[in-house]
Structure 1
Amino acid sequence: MVLCGATLVPYYLDESGGWGVSISDLKKQLDGARSEGITVRGLVVVNPGNPTGQVLVRENQCEIVEFCRNENLVLLADEVYQENVYTDEKKFISFKKIARSMGFGEEDISLISFHSVSNGYYGECGRRGGYMEVTGFNSEVRKQVYKVASLSSCSNLAGQVLVSLVMNPPKVGDESYTSYREERDRIMLSLSRCAEAMVQAFNSLEGLTCSKAEGAMFVFPSVRLPKRAIAAAEAMNTKPDVFYALRLLENTGIVVLPGSVFGQVPGTWHFRCTILQQEENSCVIPHLKARSWLP
């Protein structure tokens, strides 16, 4: 976006509604941008969510597809955490499947779906590789997409191998299927337990509330800061959640990402905390109980 000189038009998720996408807020932001002469081209949706860890319900996904179709927006579906779902109440459904189930074909909506080997339960963050599916575009646009993707003179061989493995995992009957399935299930169960434990722990602490972790690899607690802490942050010309994160790092060694990095409703403060597979490394709560390091 920065390289192309594009303009970001942000929108807020509905925290009270389980971090769902509010269509009325989307419309408000879209109309506001257009009134300022900004031509909005597309809508980015991350599902399961980063940084909020939510999984969108089917009805909300249908609303998003209908909104993009009516407003002639490209739907950019970041679905890199699609394997990471920790609740029986919801399941991951791709936006392409949603659109087709609504009777919309390629002529009705332009959709780009993304996946990556850096995320998901495999989490090969150090080996970059991924792919996208481009649908609903004419041949000339697709040619330009392939041209941009081919600019690099050196192929990322390790990343390509991993993408191939992600797209073609061991199947029933394969020699490695049993060990693959056991390892995958073990990782997913560990992540699920960590997610639940972190949410329960955060909700037990004074000044913190945290929505249920439904998917992805993050929780996004809301933190209520004392007036003195907010004043101290303002005196340092620093955002209050950044001030909180820095004090937390300096006094406990715990690293979190301030919510202002992602954008949040004015007057609210959050931080993103990563769910670790190693359960023994996810217990940060004792360090958070004592808030003596805040003003």
Structure 2
Amino acid sequence: MEEKWLVGVDLGGTTIKMAFISMDGEIKHSWEIATDTSEKGRQIPASISRSIDEKLAEFMKTKDRLIGIGIGAPGPVNEDDGSLEVAVNLGWENFPLQEILERETSLPVAVENDANVAALGEMWKGAGNGAKNLLCVTLGTGVGGGIIVNGEIVHGTNGAGGEIGHITSVPIGGAPCNCGKKGCLETIASATGIVRLAKEELLTASEDSLLRDYKGITAKLVFDAAKEGDKLANRVIEQVVFHLGLALANLANGLNPEKIVIGGGVSKAGGALLEPLKTAFTPFAFPRVAQGVEIVPATLGNQAGVIGAAWLAKQKLS
């Protein structure tokens, strides 16, 4: 008998990543398509369905090979019916994603927030390494997060659990965040936040800095300059790891996780981020919490989403 496959879908604002994945988490085939955001994203479910059909035809397989579809979507997901109240980047408002995708594909569908799905992927096949209590933080354009307790994603009352990026880090006089609050962790520890802090330092400090030589500053350039011993760049990194370490320690004190997994583009700085982060984290962590936790880099990269989505399908649909 042919082995059954799960379909993992990671729905982003510009691309949709998809994969056929075995029941034990092995990617059999992965591919991506462009996200069609025209007509307020109405065509997205149909384009996902069409792409799955095309891939099945390419491999001369039929739909009964597939158990179901797990999908990670950008925004808070309503657990009851797999709908999204809002997904700004896609143009969705009160969008019944699960219902439409099930209709389009004739397959069962499980929907979850994309950051949560990435956390599930890291738990199942990545840096989580089977840990059932973990925090997953994605440092990219924004700061995303997923909290897993006893192997289950924390959703909270109305689907907004795990919004690590919106922990208030600067209570007074903080920079405005896209969420409408001020001083969120996202305004500091995201790639965007790092660039903002660097520009502020360049304006207020008169000292020489390698960063003055660049027209367009990126988070990577700040880390590179810091590695070269640039004092201004190092001050920026110190601010970032201080606030990130404090926020993660406060979360860890409440949750006592086994692992804190750091992913996203900013995490590519590797030891230049993780070593000072561990140093910043420890003084704020309850001693027993600090003893029990390991801060580790994510290992699945761009595949965390599709693998986590497949895990979701496996748990909910098989």
Alignment TM-score, normalising by the size of structure 1: 0.32
The structure with more helix, counted as a fraction of residues: 2
TM-score by length of 2: 0.30
